[in-house]
Amino acid sequence: MVNKVTTATVIGLNPHKVDVEVDTVNGLPYISIVGLPDTAVNEAKDRVRSAIRNSDLTFPGGKVIVNLAPADLKKEGTNFDLPIAIGIQAEEEVLKQEQIQDYGFVGELSLDGSIRAINGVLPLVMGLKDFGVKNVIVPKTNAKEAALVSGINVYGAETLAEVIDHFTENPITPTVVDIQAYLNNINEKDYGYDFKDVKGQQKAKKALEIAAAGGHNMLMFGSPGSGKTLMAKCFPSILPPLELSEALELTKIYSVSGLLSADEPLMRIRPFRPVHHTASPVGIIGGGTNPKPGEITLAHRGVLFLDEMVEFPRNVLEVLRQPLEDGEVSISRAKLSIKYPAKFILLGAMNPCPCGHLGDKEKQCTCSEFQIQRYLAKLSGPLLDRIDLQIEVPRLTSEELLNYKTEEETSEQIRKRVVRARKIQVERYKNEGILTNSELTPKLVKKYCKIDEAAAEMFKIAIVKYQLSGRRYDRTLKLARTIADLEGVETISQTHLMQALQYRMFNQNDMYNK
């Protein structure tokens, strides 16, 4: 008799149901696995056999054939060990098919029968729930992560023998977690950096506040030591808390990538991913032989920080253009195509020239005009088009450096204004499938970015003067929309548009002429 055990596999971030079919035929004791298994899945036969014997369970005397259906779907990873072992025990009549038909199983087996943690438990359990499975048994280490999925009973097991006992003698207690308790358990220490420690730079701080409120990309340029990197590290502390849907989406990504802590099963803080300029395009975008999420996906709903941005190879910077526009990245291979989410805030920092002192009032720039132009040319016009805020961060004066009396605004104070602006956007776009102004499509820009007559007249002049493209036009309106939201105003005024235009460079020469 053929026994079936339900499990799942993840391709990209999407779960796919897999039926583990087990049958025993005459022949030497051996496990044969078919159904496009990769090396890790194929090696399960040795792990499963040792785990069964070391758990004092019976192993069939004949040949065991394991089919992973559908057979045309490639199976990867070690999460098939436990369902294969359960199928074999059903063949040995230790378990009955009726007992396991409402269960899903995922987990890797050690040779001694213990169950190891695996990556991607959250999307696997989400998928099993959608496939109609009512109960799931997972490694004990992954139980809290799996329990984030409501509507399915989650049982965490430490050994194969414990799983068998669950159906025969001692049922395992279901794992339950309070998701809101995780999300609410955040304090200022979790951020590490605070804007109260940043002296001066009020214009840059205001620009960062606008970027946080609307999810806009931002580039800071200025002399070395002016505080660009410090402010970038403070930036996550003013971002609004994660919504539950965002937290689960992020947790799926980090679970598949193997970056989720067992002690912290839910992502509570928006990610901040600083990338070194030696990173490869694959490291940034994702991919590889077995495609995995890259830095832009790991920064989803958070921040991707490129320090010394012009030091990155141009081909690396250019691969950011499509994700910045679409909010997702497509990785195509001969046999499959995978889409990863990539709605992140790009935060860049750079010097204005190779020596770093162009426009500095204290130090003389030693670079030639050719060196400066070649240096700035690494930032292409199309890439700058996608960066909404581009501001100069000047050197601090001696008075600002020595000023210990002035109390700088804290991140918590700034974050309150950002949260208010975000709530306005969430309410406004609740039926549009987006969360922030930066996600507005051209159609939605026309609908939600209405300007008064005075603003329209001024904008006509700006369009001609700065030769605004369609993309620049839309992005300027989106930025003005965020500035208006921070003030709690529904209609975009001339003042809001003027501020939005002041936060943009329109070509590399604008930086050169600072």
Write down all domains in the chain, each with its CATH number in brackets: 3-168 (3.30.230.10), 188-435 (3.40.50.300)
Question: How far apart are alpha carbons 36 and 42 in whole angstroms?
Answer: 9
Out of 117-126, 301-310, 450-459, which region has the weakest mean confidence (pLDDT)?
450-459
Average pLDDT (468-489) is 91
Residue 239 DSSP symbol: S
Residues 481 and 449 sit within 8 Å (Cβ to Cβ): yes
Spatial distance between the Cα atoms of 496 and 50, rounded to a whole number of angstroms: 69
Q: How confident is the model at residue 189 (pLDDT cuts 50, 70, 90)?
A: confident
The helix, strand and coil proportions of the chain, stated in percent and rounded to the nearest 5, come to 45, 20, 40
Contact, 333 vs 204, CB < 8 A?
A: no
Q: Is the pLDDT of residue 372 over 80?
A: yes
In whole angstroms, give the CA distance from residue 302 to residue 272: 6
Share of the chain above pLDDT 90, in %: 61
pLDDT band at 151 (very low <50, low <70, confident <90, very high): very high
Regarding predicted confidence, which is higher, 191 or 259?
259
- pLDDT range class, residue 510, cuts 50, 70, 90: low
Smallest Cα–Cα separation from 319: which of 281, 287, 349, 275? 281
Element (H, E) at 10: strand 3-11
**264-272 mean pLDDT:** 90
Q: Is the pLDDT of residue 117 over 90?
A: yes
Per-residue pLDDT of 226-250, as tens digits, reads 889 999 999 999 999 998 889 999 9
* Alpha-carbon span 7 to 2, nearest angstrom: 16
Q: What is the CA radius of gyration of the chain?
A: 28
Helix or strand run (H / E) with residue 115:
strand 115-116
pLDDT at 380 over 80: yes
Give pTM, 2 decimals. Answer: 0.89
Q: Give pLDDT, residue 97.
A: 93
User: Would you state the pLDDT for residue 509?
Assistant: 55
Out of 51-65, 370-384, 420-434, which region has the weakest mean confidence (pLDDT)? 370-384
Residue 505 has pLDDT above 70, yes or no: no
For residues 424 and 487, the answer to whether their CB atoms sit within 8 Å is no
> Does the pLDDT at position 324 exceed 70?
yes
Weakest-pLDDT range from 23-32, 168-177, 488-497, 498-507: 498-507
pLDDT band at residue 506 using 50, 70 and 90 as cut-offs? very low
| Confidence at 81, pLDDT banded by 50, 70, 90 | very high
**Percent of the chain surpassing pLDDT 70:** 97
What is the C-alpha separation between 314 and 381, in angstroms, rounded? 12
Structure tokens at 393: 């961060």
Q: Does 406 score more than 80 pLDDT?
A: no
pLDDT band at 54 (very low <50, low <70, confident <90, very high): very high
User: Span 220-229, mean pLDDT?
Assistant: 89
